Chains A and B, each alone.
Chain A
Amino acid sequence: MTTQTSIQQKLQSALSPVFLEVNNESHMHDVPEGSESHFKVVIASRRFEGKKLLNRHRLINKILADELQGGVHALALHTMTPEEWLERNGSVRDSPECLGGSKVK
């Protein structure tokens, strides 16, 4: 199973999202072709209701702890409740381009 699929499946089963998109953005960084190192997750779930951003991100970091300890080097997170998701019409900002720092480790 690819890391992308495993991220998708774990978030799907843990958070029952009303919207989930997992993008592999590794190609934007200085890593070998086909790498699974940089991901962006856009997710809307009822489980985020009443939680501040820090705790929403902590929840995801915990669900994806194995991936983050393994090859996943960057995880851009856009976490919303279903209401916040509707308010934004599904738009989130783009991830930044690489500036070379991921080569160091």
Chain B
Amino acid sequence: MDVLDRIREQVEGNPVVLYMKGTPQFPMCGFSSRAAAALQDCAVPFSFVNVLSDPEIFENLPRYADWPTFPQLYIDGELIGGCDITLELHANGELQAMVKEAAEKAGGAE
């Protein structure tokens, strides 16, 4: 499968996906670490992709949604932003509402 199709399948097949360096347990970048921690704080399960263990995604994700850096957060198939936007939305309470809504929507569709 083409890598962009693979990314599309990941972001459209999961309500919340974080592309990050490392894993939430063992983050390899301070920006990824903070974004993962903000999502964990929302107490809604989320998917993640460790871009360091998938060179093809590492190389191609920036052109998927025309966003040059990692981490990248997708909710309900849409790019939300990187670390700064994720933290900003978390601080004002919007992130919690967004992931909850996406998870409920996905749950209801099953």
Q: Interface of A with B (CB < 8 Å)?
A: 53-54, 57-58, 61, 65, 68-69, 74-78, 93, 95-102, 104-105
Partner of B85, one of A54, A68, A74, A75: A54
Closest CB of chain A to B28's CB: distance in Å? 3
Per the bound structure, the CA–CA distance linking A74 and B71 in Å amounts to 10
Partner of A96, one of B34, B66, B80: B34
Please report the total number of B residues contacting A with Cβ < 8 Å: 26
Would you call A68 and B69 a contact (CB within 8 A)?
Answer: yes
Chain B's closest residue to A67 (CB) is B68
Would you call A99 and B22 a contact (CB within 8 A)?
Answer: yes
Q: Given that A99-B29, A104-B28, A104-B52 are contacting pairs, would A76 and B84 also be in contact in the complex, using a CB cutoff of 8 Å?
A: yes
Q: Given that A74-B69, A101-B52 are contacting pairs, would A57 and B29 also be in contact in the complex, using a CB cutoff of 8 Å?
A: no
Docked complex: B24-63 residues within 8 A CB-CB of A: 27-34, 52, 58
Closest CB of chain A to B50's CB: distance in Å? 10
Q: CB-CB < 8 A to A78: which residues of B?
A: 84
Is B11 at the interface (CB under 8 A from chain A)?
no
Per the bound structure, the CA–CA distance linking A58 and B32 in Å amounts to 19
Is B18 at the interface (CB under 8 A from chain A)?
no
Q: CB-CB < 8 A to B87: which residues of A?
A: 93
Q: What 0/1 pattern do residues 81 to 110 of B give for CB contact below 8 A with A?
A: 111110111000000000000000000000
Is B64 at the interface (CB under 8 A from chain A)?
no
Per the bound structure, the CA–CA distance linking A78 and B85 in Å amounts to 9
11 new A-B contacts, CB < 8 A, other than A57-B85, A100-B28, A101-B27, are A53-B88, A54-B79, A61-B67, A74-B31, A76-B83, A99-B22, A99-B28, A99-B29, A100-B29, A101-B52, A102-B29
Q: Given that A53-B85, A57-B82, A68-B68 are contacting pairs, would A96 and B30 also be in contact in the complex, using a CB cutoff of 8 Å?
A: yes
Per the bound structure, the CA–CA distance linking A77 and B85 in Å amounts to 9
Q: Show 23 residue pairs from A and B whose CB-CB distance is below 8 angstroms, ordered by the A residue.
A: A53-B84, A53-B85, A54-B85, A57-B81, A61-B67, A61-B68, A68-B69, A74-B31, A74-B69, A96-B31, A96-B34, A98-B29, A99-B21, A99-B27, A99-B29, A99-B30, A99-B33, A100-B28, A101-B28, A101-B52, A102-B29, A104-B21, A104-B52
